[in-house]
Amino acid sequence: MTELIRVERTDKKKNKPEQGKLGFGKHFTDHMFIMNYTDGRGWHDPRVIPYQPIALDPAAKVFHYGQTIFEGLKAYRTDDGRILLFRPQLNFERMNRSNERLGVPDVDGEIAIEALRKLIEVDRDWIPSEEGTSLYIRPFVIATEPELGVSPSLEYQFIIIMSPVGAYYPEGVNPVKIYVECDYVRAVRGGVGEAKTAGNYAGGLKAQELAKAKGYTQVLWLDGVQRKYIEEVGSMNVFFKLEGKVHTPILNGSILAGITRRSIIELLRHWNIEVVERAITIEELYEAGRDGRLEEAFGTGTAAVISPIGELNWQDDPLVINGGKTGELSAKLYDTLTGIQQGRIADPFGWMVEAAGPEAK
């Protein structure tokens, strides 16, 4: 597709929310990107249009059979006014792996990034500047064919919406308490756990609400087969520092290959800290916790970047980690990664992609 992206600007700009009260995914910018797919014709009519409702036939397959995938990434405004994206190619590569698993047609990664640049250009005044804020970007594909047969849709829409978001932890990075889920299962090998698709999240809501009611922020999932191996947290991958080395569950087919996870591994190796990707049991972790070998634990994900874990609860048995405080390595990782993302410290890896230069004055 070499079709030009058409731009239709709104004539009713919304009021922007206060930067201190952004929250997560509550406010959306003035425009959105949209592109259609029909079988035979492929993707077509790429356009930036005013943010508006999507009108779908009530028989659209997305409502019935969940054929949909999404991504999540962020844009940052640097102190000198440039707009940076964090490894966007990786998001669109992962999007196409999700597409493949869900029977959704491929979206050309270059076109997706071009679309994103255009959208950011149009809505750049929505990117907040305060410490810790950013623009959360949500690309997604939905199956729109109005037909109730259980088969891949012949029509889709690829959409990008954007939301200015606040610092995930407004009072600074604070350790979270995580509930180890033993009854509900998120995913199993052979299923769709490694795809970023709606059904994975729907299935987790119940366990998450139960954990919240008990005072825990999120759930730590165990594997669906033996219920003993650690998988991931609600929307984060997990890492454990054990006697100086950092361990994280191996990508086994049922967990999401986080882009923050990958970056943290690269960063740690760059610092000559050993990283071990392997199957980790919850039992082993508890043993290490009891005898003092578990030094730190943290989750990684686009939304919170690094989220130190101060306590686990497995079968009503709480395990406090590092005295419930943020570990030294967790803090250093957070500072380094957010520093690179906000363009405040050097980016030795070439991770940041400039979506737009400083605004013309």
Ligand X SMILES: Cc1ncc(COP(=O)(O)O)c(C=O)c1O
The footprint of its own copies on residues 26-45 (CB under 8 A) is 26, 28, 32
Q: Do 295 and 327 contact (CB within 8 A), yes or no?
A: yes
Q: Residue 285 Cβ, how far from its own copies at the closest point, in Å?
A: 20
Contact partner, 237, from ligand X, its own copies, none, Cβ < 5-8 Å per class:
ligand X
Nearest to 33 by CA among 111, 143, 144, 133: 111
Query: Considering the rule CB under 6 A, would residue 261 count as an interface residue with ligand X?
Result: yes
- Of positions 102, 161, 236, 329, contacts ligand X by CB under 6 A: 236
Contact partner, 202, from its own copies, ligand X, none, Cβ < 5-8 Å per class:
its own copies
Distances (CA, A) of 71 to 74, 92, 93: 10, 8, 10
For residue 250 the two structure tokens come to 């191996």
Q: Angle 259-270/88-102 helices, nearest 10 degrees?
A: 140
Question: Residue type for 15, please?
Answer: N
The footprint of its own copies on residues 167-186 (CB under 8 A) is 183-186
Q: Residue 335 Cβ, how far from its own copies at the closest point, in Å?
A: 26
Closer residue to its own copies in complex, CB, 168/286: 168
Q: Do 264 and 337 contact (CB within 8 A), yes or no?
A: yes
- C-alpha 335/C-alpha 350 separation (Å) is 17
Query: Considering the rule CB under 6 A, would residue 237 count as an interface residue with ligand X?
Result: yes
Neighbouring CB atoms inside 10 A of 315's CB total 8
For residue 30 the two structure tokens come to 């003035």
Q: Containing H/E element for 199?
A: helix 198-202
Contact partner, 305, from ligand X, its own copies, none, Cβ < 5-8 Å per class:
none
Q: What would the x/- binding string for ligand X be over residues 59 to 78, using CB under 6 A?
A: -------------x------
Query: Considering the rule CB under 8 A, would residue 154 count as an interface residue with its own copies?
Result: no
Neighbouring CB atoms inside 10 A of 101's CB total 16
Contact partner, 191, from ligand X, its own copies, none, Cβ < 5-8 Å per class:
its own copies
Mapped onto helix, strand or coil, the DSSP state of residue 34 is strand
Q: Do 308 and 327 contact (CB within 8 A), yes or no?
A: yes
Query: Considering the rule CB under 6 A, would residue 235 count as an interface residue with ligand X?
Result: yes
Query: Considering the rule CB under 6 A, would residue 301 count as an interface residue with ligand X?
Result: yes
How many residues line the site for ligand X (CB under 6 A)? 13
Closer residue to ligand X in complex, CB, 132/258: 258
- Cα dihedral 287, 261, 312, 332 sign: positive
The Cα angle at residue 85 between residues 82 and 90, in degrees rounded to 5: 160
Mapped onto helix, strand or coil, the DSSP state of residue 138 is strand
How many residues line the site for its own copies (CB under 8 A)? 65
Query: Considering the rule CB under 6 A, would residue 232 count as an interface residue with ligand X?
Result: yes
- C-alpha 265/C-alpha 348 separation (Å) is 14
Closer residue to its own copies in complex, CB, 150/346: 150
Q: Residue 324 Cβ, how far from ligand X at the closest point, in Å?
A: 23
Contact partner, 98, from ligand X, its own copies, none, Cβ < 5-8 Å per class:
none
Which positions lie near its own copies, rule CB under 8 A? 24-26, 28, 32, 51, 53-59, 62-68, 70, 101-103, 136, 138, 140, 142, 146-152, 159, 161, 163, 183-192, 197-206, 208-209, 224-225, 227, 234-235
Interacting residue ranges for ligand X, rule: CB under 6 A: 72, 232, 235-237, 256, 258-261, 300-302
